[in-house]
Amino acid sequence: MKKTLVAHLPDETPQELRRFAAGAALYDSSCSAGAKVWLIEKGRGYYLKSAGRGALEREAGLTKYFWAKGLGAEVLAYISGESDWLLTAAVPGEDGTHERYLSDPKRLCDVMARALRALHELDHHDCPVPDRTAEYLAAAEKNYRMGNYAPSRFPDRSGYRSADEAYALLRAEKAALQSRVLLHGDYCLPNMIFDNWKLSGFVDVGCGGVGDRHIDIFWGIWTLWFNLKTDRYRERFLDAYGRDKADESILKVIAAAEAFG
């Protein structure tokens, strides 16, 4: 996890959130251009996230939902004004990119695959995002129309020779995608928190909802490739997750959708 020491929170931070940072060490822990994240090292620890107005509403709701299932961070405050502010308690442990986990890739692969299968087995009847698949496909369609295409982000076996080739497969096969399991939506090692190899919970669940399991499976494979710099754990991940629920043909459809960002 990225940590850059900072002197103070931004001046526009709501006053009711500042008390959590009083006397604490503060670190910029941001990892995307769309939001700022600060780690507040005080007591059990807190994370404060800020983004544009309304941008964190869904994440706040899904974080509460995951926490209620014992799989997420406790939401302490969500404030929406000129900007959105989301304060959560830190989930105990370290994320999956910590050296203790990366140094044992086989065990890490198995643990994250089994954690994903367990997530997908949970009851989701009351999920606040009941059809993530429809949103996912609509976003891929929009990005294709806008000319967004970035196949180089993926291993060669997930690539397509052109945007039109990827889109043709997506259009022909998108009906195979279902909304049947609770998704994390961004199932990558930085978003999994482990405490001595036991899953403590998930963070950054704003892309979650009820959707097709292959979206998470795809990103589980991707994060092992990206963080371990090798694709050798792909088959092991699928074995540990369970081949009975992993369809290679649908993974190719997901790869086509993800090529459009």
Residue 43: count other Cβ atoms within 10 Å of its Cβ. 10
Structure tokens at 248: 């290679």
Decide if 187 contacts 216 (C-beta within 8 A).
yes
Rounded Cα distance between 74 and 88, Å, is 5
Checking if the pLDDT of 261 tops 90, the result is no
pLDDT value for 157: 62
Q: What amino acid occupies position 123? A: D
**Residue numbers annotated as active site:** 186
Structure tokens at 245: 């629920």
Decide if 194 contacts 93 (C-beta within 8 A).
yes
For 20, 29, 247, the CA distances from 219, given in Å and listed in that order, are 34, 22, 14
Coil vs helix vs strand at 162 = coil
Rounded Cα distance between 181 and 131, Å, is 10
Exposure letters 185-211 (e unless 16+ CB within 10 A, then b): bbbbbbbbbbeeeebbbbbbbbbbbbb
All domains of the chain in start order, with CATH: 4-89 (3.30.200.20), 94-258 (3.90.1200.10)
Rounded Cα distance between 80 and 57, Å, is 8
pLDDT value for 38: 96
Rounded Cα distance between 158 and 251, Å, is 9
Q: Which residue has the higher pLDDT, 151 or 41?
A: 41
Tracing tokens 């606040």 back to the chain, one arrives at: 128
85-127 tens-digit pLDDT: 999 999 999 999 999 999 999 999 999 999 999 999 999 999 9
The residue among 102, 59, 3 whose CA lies nearest residue 202 is: 59
Q: What is the mean pLDDT of residues 155-167?
A: 81
pLDDT value for 146: 96
7-49 tens-digit pLDDT: 999 999 999 999 999 999 999 998 877 899 999 999 999 999 9
The pTM (predicted TM-score) of the whole model is: 0.94
Rounded Cα distance between 193 and 74, Å, is 14
Decide if 50 contacts 84 (C-beta within 8 A).
yes
Residue-averaged pLDDT of the chain: 94
Rounded Cα distance between 258 and 41, Å, is 35
Dihedral pair phi/psi, residue 249, rounded to 5°? -65, -35
Assign 2 a pLDDT band (cuts: 50, 70, 90).
confident
